[in-house]
Chains A and B, each alone.
Chain A
Amino acid sequence: MAEKPLTEQESLLIIQQMINRAKSNFVDTGIGPMLWGAVITICSLVQAAKIYFDLEMNFDIWLLALFALVPQVFISIKERRERKAKGWDDDIMSYVWTCFGISVFLVNFINNRISIELSPAIEAYRAAGNTIQSTWSFASCFLLLVFGFPTIITGAARKQRWMLAGGIFCWVSVIIAAFTPTYVDFMLMAFAATLSWLIPGMIIRKKYLQQKTTHV
């Protein structure tokens, strides 16, 4: 950029161009949302199939989500290294998603405690010939509620319409899941994860690769 006297119009043009260039800073690679979208979708679908077909499985499919933390750590480190500029909301987004991770852990902890405490009573109630849902049917509502928070915040802040729609779907699913059988709840969760993270992740990835090609 050469130095020359500026007119007012040129000044405004520079300001506009540079603000747009700063906005198009491609730090979001989309791998994180794609990874978690795929993992939660797979886990939820397997869980739904397990319940619906009464399958015997010797392992907990949700361990996959725990294993996904390993590549996530590497992705975060790599993205941080590649990042050449830090946006005003980057720290806030990190806090939001860290709080989300902790919330999911705590909700699962509470759900497990409820299940352990209430299962004997439910079994006894069923043994008497009554019909009642398992506690997990309602546990998925709490998870969907937690899924919605960071997704809506990120979708609104980063102007990701698919993510925003996915987050809203999570909250709508909370109400639906309160009335549906457990396997349907997990299918809702699978759909919510696809809509909230997998599809937006693929869109972000496509944009990232396009921007990378144009900047080479």
Chain B
Amino acid sequence: MFKDLDPILHSQLRLAVMSLLIGVKEAEFTFIKDKTGSTAGNLSVQITKLKEAGYVEVIKQFKDNYPQTICKITAEGITAFETYVKALQSYLPK
């Protein structure tokens, strides 16, 4: 039985962001940008979608007088990611 894949996560960049954030407690926007190799604009749009879905928490603050954006995966995000991986496994040949 094939399970439906979460459309929020079933996107290249959003999935990459979630996979990065699952491995760390929190990460700066620039870190995510470097690791995913995406543009700032596109990444910002995708992070906003993840935030609206409740999968990530975005904290905007100042560090050494420069604006800093920190992203954290939420408990809801972890559950959604785990569900997505499980659903993905059902599609793979056994």
Contacts and interface: CB of A to CB of B under 8 A. Distances in A.
Contacts of A18: 15-16, 19-20, 23, 35-36
B52 interface: no
Interface residues of A, number: 27
Chain B binding surface SS class: helix
B15 A14 contact: yes
A86 B24 contact: yes
A6 B12 contact: yes
Contacts of A12: 88, 92
A53 B37 CA distance: 61
A83 B16 CA distance: 20
Chain A binding surface SS class: helix
A3 B12 contact: yes
Contacts, number: 83
Contact of B16 (A14, A87, A91): A14
Given A18-B15, A85-B27, A215-B34, 10 more contacts: A1-B12, A8-B91, A10-B12, A11-B88, A15-B85, A18-B20, A19-B23, A22-B20, A85-B26, A87-B23
A1 B23 contact: no
Contacts of A87: 23-25
Nearest to B43: A1
A-B complex: 3 closest residue pairs judged by Cβ atoms? A22-B23, A18-B19, A84-B31
Nearest to B19: A18
Nearest to A15: B19
A130 to B, nearest CB: 58
Interface string B1-13: 0000100001111
